[in-house]
Homo-oligomer: A and B are copies of this chain.
Amino acid sequence: MSKPLILVSNDDGITSKGIRVLVEVMKELGDVVVVAPDSPQSGMGHAITIGNTLRLSEEEIFTDVVAYKSSGTPVDCVKLAKHYVLKDRQPDLVVSGINHGSNTSISVLYSGTMSAAIEGAIEGIPSIGFSLCDYSSKADFSHVKEYVRQISRQVLENGIPKGVALNVNFPPKRNEAIKGIKICRQARAKWQEDFEERYDPNGRKYFWMAGNFVNFDKGEDNDEWAIANNYVSVVPCQFDMTAHHAISQINNDWNWEDLKANL
């Protein structure tokens, strides 16, 4: 049997620690090609480069792995991989990360790591974004390797439902071992921003944005609960953003007679 082809990307940039760990694990599972941003792209969400040029160059960064760095966003990298670098061979798996920091709950929308995985799903490729819920500069990735390997194996062997990408978050390394894996829903939470005003040397005002995470969710079936309780969270994410339940509600709520009378 031929080895599966695995595309690796991320949003922390091609020289980050997390992508090195991910490449190391993926080399055991298949042929690996890396296309990743040349600089950190955290918080880029599903941004793509419109009206500007893109750079892409092959780099010897990982041992025995073909790797390209790009000036683009994480989603640009997946597009460049799918439609240029790997034009003649469809990847069997897209993995993104391992992100240095949490991508649970609403962060899935802001996350370049997850947007790369979702772009893979749009292309019909089983895709996974991995994130470690530890922001410390010395974050330890050693306790998650076996989970990355086993989850990726399950996806290679069993696939994932069509149109779905997995958002996998790992708890930080704690004194006790990880308790297991929970397939979850996205927790109901948001980022509540503070803007700190400062003045530059020319006396002109600028701002730093600081986000505080607020969790409104009291359930035990969501990713925030899983991480807080030392489980790996796996949220299946879809790119169909339609609120299907709201279609009939809006049709019922709107005053169509009044609306039509004014058009």
Question: Is the contact region of chain A dominated by helix, strand, or loop, or is it mixed?
Answer: mixed
Q: Is the CB of B150 within 8 A of A108?
A: no
Q: Which residue of B lies closest to A259 (CB)?
A: B150
Q: Is the CB of A43 within 8 A of B47?
A: yes
Which range holds the interface residue count of chain A? Answer: 35 or more
Cβ of A94 under 8 Å from chain B: no
Q: How many subunits of this chain does the assembly comprise?
A: 2
Q: Chain B contacts of A40 at CB under 8 A?
A: 51
Residue in contact with A243 in the complex, picked from B157, B163, B194, B242, CB distance below 8 Å: B163
Point out which of A46, A49, A150, A198 has the most chain B C-beta atoms below 10 A from its C-beta.
A46
Report the bound CA distance from A229 to B263 in whole Å: 18
Point out which of A115, A158, A247 has the most chain B C-beta atoms below 10 A from its C-beta.
A247
Cβ of A134 under 8 Å from chain B: no
Q: Is the CB of A47 within 8 A of B49?
A: no
Q: Report, nearest first, the 7 A-B pairs whose CB atoms are least far apart.
A: A45-B46, A236-B246, A43-B50, A238-B243, A236-B243, A45-B45, A47-B47
Taking Cβ atoms with an 8 Å cutoff, the residues of A that contact B are 40, 42-51, 53-57, 73, 75-76, 79-80, 82-84, 106, 108-110, 115, 118, 122-123, 146-147, 149-151, 153-154, 157-161, 163-164, 180-181, 183-186, 188, 190, 192-195, 198, 204-209, 234-247, 249-251, 253-255, 259-260, 262-263
